[in-house]
Amino acid sequence: MYGTYVCKKGLIGKNMVKYQASLLLAWWSPLYETITDKLLDCEGADLYVIGKSGDNSRFIYLTEKLNVQRTVEPRRLDVVNFKSILCYIYTSGTTGLPKAAVMKHFRYYSMVVGAAKSFGIYPSDRIYVSMPIYHTAAGILGVGQALCRGSCCVIRKRFSASNFWKDCVEYQCTASQYIGEICRYLLAQPVVPEEATHKMRLLYGNGLRAEIWQPFVDRFRVKIGEVYGSTEGTSNLVNIDGHVGACGFLPISPLTKKMHPVRLIRVDDKTGEVVKVVPWCPQLERTILCYNLKAI
């Protein structure tokens, strides 16, 4: 309505009806009398007036509504804390049948901050997110950087291999969240000029295959930050030194040892039995990520 007032143009009722506006805001101004009839043509729309009250039943006068609202700030719910459940994230069944994984406030926040501290993600970064945000990868590791740390997120409706680097250049992105297969798709694309002009310094995520890791880094000139874990899992590791194909490690510190007590153990690939301390040999290459659990 303010634009109409400044431009000194009357509203065309049929245009408003055409677009079927569901919400209209009108400032009470000297021009109000000239546009009232046009506003009333918008059948089915909620018409709000900001300013002094009136007696037209078709309008909702916000001043009157605000006057009857409580002036006391609502009391915070004591039952909601850092250990409260934030949401449930449905997985596709990596560790079995599809299931709803519990995501608490603490876990959400620790995953965001953990990724930021491990890989060097800063509030000044512009993060390109093209994966579904209802999954942990994009919804927490990606968009979570904006919610918890103030980074800027550039969100694409769906992933496009042919437009990835073009978008990164256009929106000046400096980091991006990935899952392994999109790196393969990008590597399979023809070379484009934007590959040489982008400002992307970091791609972080999980599932990058060892055979395409180094070719990807060499071609696109980016650092890889790899996470080893799952939404429904109880623990995870990080690969922050770019060691190709490694599942990562847990940075050594008293804090991480207490808050995130994970262990890597070696198992016999054939029998599944845990192998006691023995020198490494090619026949025993499989390891399992474990978490120290308290007695239930």
Looking at the predicted structure, is the pLDDT value of residue 31 above 50? yes
What residues contact residue 64 under an 8 Å CB cut-off, 6+ apart?
Answer: 53
Mean pLDDT, the chain, whole residue set: 78
Higher-confidence residue: 180 or 109? 109
Strands of 22-73 (E only): list them: 23-27, 46-50, 59-61
Looking at the predicted structure, is the pLDDT value of residue 7 above 50? no
3-class DSSP state for residue 253?
coil
Looking at the predicted structure, is the pLDDT value of residue 199 above 50? yes
Confidence of residue 38 (pLDDT cuts 50, 70, 90): low
Query: Which two structure tokens, joined as six digits, stand for 193?
Result: 């000029």
Looking at the predicted structure, is the pLDDT value of residue 243 above 60? yes
Higher-confidence residue: 1 or 238? 238
Query: Which two structure tokens, joined as six digits, stand for 241?
Result: 């030194």
| Mean predicted confidence (pLDDT) in 241-263 | 72
Q: How far apart are CA 244 and CA 58, in angstroms?
A: 67
Q: How far apart are CA 29 and CA 135, in angstroms?
A: 48
What is the chain's length?
A: 296
Q: The whole model's pTM is what? A: 0.65
Name beta bridge partners: 133: none
| Mean predicted confidence (pLDDT) in 51-64 | 74
pLDDT on residue 27 = 56
CB contact at 8 A, 287 and 266: yes
pLDDT on residue 1 = 41
pLDDT on residue 5 = 37
pLDDT on residue 184 = 95
Helix runs in the chain, H state only: 2-7, 13-19, 32-40, 62-67, 105-119, 136, 144-149, 164-170, 180-188, 210-220, 254-259
Looking at the predicted structure, is the pLDDT value of residue 256 above 70? no
pLDDT on residue 9 = 43
Confidence of residue 248 (pLDDT cuts 50, 70, 90): confident
Looking at the predicted structure, is the pLDDT value of residue 295 above 60? no
pLDDT on residue 178 = 92
pLDDT on residue 75 = 73
DSSP 232: T
pLDDT on residue 140 = 93
DSSP 91: -
Nearest to 204 by CA among 174, 232, 234: 174
Query: Which two structure tokens, joined as six digits, stand for 52?
Result: 């002094």
pLDDT on residue 273 = 80
Q: How far apart are CA 229 and CA 189, in angstroms?
A: 28
Q: How far apart are CA 116 and CA 127, in angstroms?
A: 12
Looking at the predicted structure, is the pLDDT value of residue 129 above 90? yes
Looking at the predicted structure, is the pLDDT value of residue 17 above 50? no
| Mean predicted confidence (pLDDT) in 147-168 | 95
**What does the CA dihedral 45, 50, 51, 56 come to, rounded to 10 degrees?**
10
Looking at the predicted structure, is the pLDDT value of residue 98 above 90? no
Confidence of residue 2 (pLDDT cuts 50, 70, 90): very low
Higher-confidence residue: 62 or 86? 86
Residue 81's CB is within 10 A of a number of other CB atoms, namely: 10
Looking at the predicted structure, is the pLDDT value of residue 227 above 50? yes
CATH fold of the domain at 113-249:
Rossmann fold (3.40.50)
Looking at the predicted structure, is the pLDDT value of residue 89 above 50? yes
Q: How far apart are CA 108 and CA 176, in angstroms?
A: 18
Looking at the predicted structure, is the pLDDT value of residue 40 above 70? no
Lowest mean pLDDT among 6-10, 72-76, 130-134, 219-223: 6-10
Q: Where are the domains of the chain?
A: 4-68, 113-249
Nearest to 227 by CA among 206, 258, 243: 206
